[in-house]
Amino acid sequence: MQEQILRKFFLGFIQIHILHHANVEPFYGAWMIEELKEHGYDMSPGTLYPILHTMEAKQLLTKESRTIHGKVRKYYTITELGERVLEEAKKKAYELFKEIKD
């Protein structure tokens, strides 16, 4: 039960993290898996890609195929809606963390 609850919380954190990086520069899935791993999230492609597809369907991200060294990679970039959602999430997260930090 506790694991399911924490998983739901972490999903929101992961989505904010994804939007943050998509706002900095386009990224591809394998890079994001490694980035999230650096922050303690052990994410498989089978978990990450459905999140990315959902965020794309909700128009938070756009996807572009690029050929790099003969391999096709899908790069994700934030949309205008994604930027607005990210800004609001940052404000809410800041207020929440200020309150619960101690």
Query: According to the model, what pLDDT value does residue 100 have?
Result: 87
Torsion of CA 28, 67, 82, 10, to 10 degrees: -20
Q: What confidence score (pLDDT) does residue 28 get?
A: 96
Task: Write the CATH number for 37.
Answer: 1.10.10.10
Cα three-residue angle 26-66-85, rounded to 5 degrees: 30
H helix and E strand count, the chain: 4, 3
* Tens-level pLDDT at each residue, the chain (102 residues): 788 888 888 899 999 999 999 999 999 999 999 999 999 998 899 999 999 999 999 999 999 999 989 989 999 999 999 999 999 999 998 898 888 886
**H or E stretch covering 66:** strand 61-68
Look at residue 101 in the predicted model and tell me its pLDDT. 82
pTM: 0.89
pLDDT at 37: 95
**Domain assignment of residue 83, given as a range:** 2-100
Total domains in the fold of the chain:
1
